[in-house]
Amino acid sequence: MLVGALNAVLGVSKWLSLGLNLVPVLAYSLVCYYGKSKTQLTMAKILSVAYALVMVAVLVGIAVTVSEEGFLSPSALFLVAITLSFVISALMHPLEISCLLHGFVYFITIPSMYLLLIIFSIFNINNVSWGK
Please tell me the distance from the alpha carbon of residue 73 to that of residue 106, in angstroms, as a whole number. 23
pLDDT, residue 93, reads 92
Summarised one tens digit per residue, pLDDT across range 120-129 is 999 988 877 7
Q: How confident is the model at residue 132 (pLDDT cuts 50, 70, 90)?
A: low
Q: Dump pLDDT digits (tens) for 67-99.
A: 888 878 787 788 888 889 989 998 999 998 888
Q: What is the pLDDT averaged over residues 41-48? A: 94
For the cut 90, the answer to whether the pLDDT of residue 111 exceeds it is no
Rounded Cα distance, 47 and 121, in Å: 16
Whole-prediction pTM? 0.77
Would you say 5 and 50 are in contact if contact means Cβ atoms under 8 Å apart?
A: no
